[in-house]
């Protein structure tokens, strides 16, 4: 049985005061909901604050991206060890905003993935097609190419390590991210099933265990229907993760 997972992606939002208010509300609101896993991925400057507040709660925290190098002259970059040093257990990789706005590629996602698992961070690898690709019927081609770019670089040992860390895939159709448009539960299910089958080509046991979360305008009002689909194991939530009541309701739907 896969446990559902809900990940809040705060993006570039928050400050010390609003984080304190939001995290305190989440701690109280989720305390009694132990049947799913919850994570918040906060901006790097607030990881220390997040760790201080969330330590010994049932909410984990993570980074929104990471560099592939261990250390060195990489101005502005953050290493996997820096994230684990601040207690992170998860990291989002290959988010469409990183791909589109910061020109990250499948190749760099693969390098970050590799560096993350070597540092004991659970990668949440985002895949998903743009609206033009969707309309052209290319969803599976795009998702497969984004997955394969990472999976093909993993040795059998690396793959086993990624499974040991419970690697996560996030299907995030770009046309649904931050747009208020959500994939229907049936659309999400179809692609999640495709992702699982693709993992099964490498390792059937892993495919049955791996969690595939959906992202793209997940809200309290649509979460339960999405999470009810057999291959949807929770959500990656942007906008709605900044509103305590909304996020708690989404987490309860996963619980």
Task: Please report, for the chain, how many H helices and E strands are present, in that order.
Answer: 12, 8
* Dist. CA 36–CA 19, nearest whole Å: 22
Tell me if 216 contacts ligand PGA by CB under 6 A: yes
Among 86, 119, 237, 250, binds ligand PGA (CB under 6 A): 237
Catalytic residues: 95, 172
Question: Given the rule CB under 6 A, which of 15-23, 42-50, 51-59, 210-218 is the region that contacts ligand PGA?
Answer: 210-218
Q: Rounded to the nearest 5°, which phi and psi values hold at 107? A: -65, -45
Closest approach of ligand PGA to the CB of residue 179, in Å? 7
From 22-30, 157-165, 186-194, 216-224, span contacting ligand PGA (CB under 6 A): 216-224
| Smallest distance, ligand PGA to C-beta of residue 170, A | 7
Any contact of residue 217 with ligand PGA (CB under 6 A)? Answer: yes
Query: For residues 58-69, b (16+ Cβ closer than 10 Å) or e, as one string?
Result: bbbbbbbbbbbe
Q: Which is nearer to ligand PGA, 237 or 254 (CB)?
A: 237
With binding defined as CB under 6 A, does residue 43 bind ligand PGA?
no
State in angstroms the smallest separation of the CB of 41 from ligand PGA: 9
Distance CA 189, CA 226 (A): 8
Residue 248 to residue 237: CA distance in whole angstroms? 11
- Shortest separation between residue 79's beta carbon and ligand PGA, angstroms: 23
Which span (55-63, 65-73, 110-118, 212-220) binds ligand PGA, by CB under 6 A? 212-220
Strands 122-127 and 168-171, by their bridges, are parallel
**CA-wise closest residue to 235 among 27, 251, 61:** 251
**Given 22, 215, 222, 227, the residue binding ligand PGA (CB under 6 A):** 215
Alpha carbons 49 and 206: distance in angstroms, whole number: 35
100 Cβ contact list (under 8 Å, min separation 6): 174
Quick check: 86 and 121 in contact, CB under 8 A? Answer: no
Among 218, 220, 229, 250, binds ligand PGA (CB under 6 A): 218
**Subset of 129-188 contacting ligand PGA (CB under 6 A):** 172, 177-178
- Residue corresponding to tokens 């928050």: 14
40 is a contact residue toward ligand PGA (CB under 6 A): no
Q: What is the phi/psi pair of residue 181, to 5°?
A: -90, 130
Nearest residue to 30 (alpha-carbon basis) of 222, 233, 242, 250: 250
Residue 4 binds ligand PGA (CB under 6 A): no
Residue nearest to ligand PGA (CB): 238
Shortest Cβ 177–ligand PGA spacing (Å): 4
Q: Which residues are at the interface with ligand PGA (CB under 6 A)?
A: 9, 172, 177-178, 215-218, 236-240
């Amino acid at each position: 049985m896969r446990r559902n997972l809900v990940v809040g992606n705060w993006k570039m939002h928050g400050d010390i005061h609003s984080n304190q208010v939001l995290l305190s509300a989440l701690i109280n609101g989720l305390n009694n909901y132990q049947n799913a896993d919850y994570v918040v991925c906060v901006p790097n400057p607030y990881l220390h604050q997040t760790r201080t507040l969330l330590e010994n709660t049932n909410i984990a925290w993570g980074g929104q991206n990471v560099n592939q190098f261990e250390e060195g002259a990489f101005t502005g970059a953050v290493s996997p060890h820096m994230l684990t040093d601040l207690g992170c257990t998860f990291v989002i990789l290959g988010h469409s905003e990183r791909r589109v706005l910061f020109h990250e590629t499948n190749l760099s996602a693969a390098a970050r993935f590799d560096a993350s698992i070597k540092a004991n961070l659970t990668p949440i690898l985002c895949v998903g097609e743009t609206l033009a690709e969707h309309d052209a019927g290319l969803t599976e081609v795009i998702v497969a190419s984004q997955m394969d770019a990472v999976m093909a670089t993993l040795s059998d040992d690396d793959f086993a390590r990624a499974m040991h860390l419970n690697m996560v895939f996030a299907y995030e159709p770009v046309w649904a991210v931050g747009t208020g448009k959500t994939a229907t539960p049936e659309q999400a299910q179809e692609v999640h099933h495709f992702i699982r089958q693709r993992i099964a080509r490498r390792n059937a046991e892993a495919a049955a265990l791996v969690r595939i979360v959906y992202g793209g305008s997940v809200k309290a009002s649509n979460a339960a229907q999405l999470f009810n689909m057999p291959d949807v194991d929770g959500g990656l939530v942007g906008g709605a993760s900044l509103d305590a009541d909304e996020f708690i309701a989404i987490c309860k739907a996963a619980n």
